[in-house]
Chain A
Amino acid sequence: NAGVMQNPRHLVRRRGQEARLRCSPMKGHSHVYWYRQLPEEGLKFMVYLQKENIIDESGMPKERFSAEFPKEGPSILRIQQVVRGDSAAYFCASSRNRGDEKLFFGSGTQLSVL
């Protein structure tokens, strides 16, 4: 009965490199959310996806950030040309259906940019 799985747990990148964060939703869930959390702050909404479709990306930075949730495989949050300010914890959550308000969160990926 696996919950939301995120990997890697920790990711270290140098400035200018690419970061790929993966999220496998709970079994039977077809909707995925990505959030970003800085130390001592709340979670900031980034993007809401269902399989092969972006529903709401109003929280995504306009450049360097992209997200996908393909028909097969995990959801990917991709950050190109990372900068130190991208260092944060990135959390993924899933829900069963569109409109489901109860989200189940993964343990997050801690991204550190050197």
Chain B
Amino acid sequence: GESVGLHLPTLSVQEGDNSIINCAYSNSASDYFIWYKQESGKGPQFIIDIRSNMDKRQGQRVTVLLNKTVKHLSLQIAATQPGDSAVYFCAENVSKDSSASKIIFGSGTRLSIRP
């Protein structure tokens, strides 16, 4: 369902520490997942993606973990920097048509960096 009227959960992390942002998804048939970063006043920016045939994928300073058993996705950011401050959204492709995409967003987590 929709989280209408709820404030975004906030994760506060010390600069230089690792951040872990979690996301639960609902559609067990989804086979593609994405993490987006949204800075204030901007559109979402692609960070990293993962397909359901993988458990883990690494990028530059970021790692995505997928646990299909419990329908859980996480984003790990290594050595968090001030520029990482943003709202992070997980998203999934819920389309039943393999030739089309329907990307649905989760509710988001605000990452705040302490100096």
Residues of A within 8 A of B (CB): 4, 33, 35, 38, 40-45, 48, 55-56, 58, 91, 93, 95, 98-108
Contacts and interface: CB of A to CB of B under 8 A. Distances in A.
A95 B42 CA distance: 18
Interface SS of chain B: loop
A101 B101 contact: yes
Interface of B: 2-4, 6-8, 32, 34, 36, 41-46, 49, 89, 93, 95, 98-108
20 contacts: A4-B43, A33-B103, A38-B4, A40-B8, A41-B2, A41-B3, A41-B108, A42-B106, A42-B107, A43-B44, A43-B89, A44-B2, A91-B43, A93-B44, A95-B101, A98-B99, A99-B98, A99-B101, A101-B49, A103-B103
Q: Counting chain A CB atoms within 10 Å of each CB, which of B8, B41, B44 scores highest? A: B44
Contacts of A104: 46
A55 B100 contact: yes
Given A95-B101, A99-B98, A107 B108 contact: no
Contacts, number: 74
A108 B42 CA distance: 7
A35 B101 contact: no
Given A40-B6, A41-B4, A41-B107, A105 B101 contact: no
B56 to A, nearest CB: 19
B106 A102 contact: no
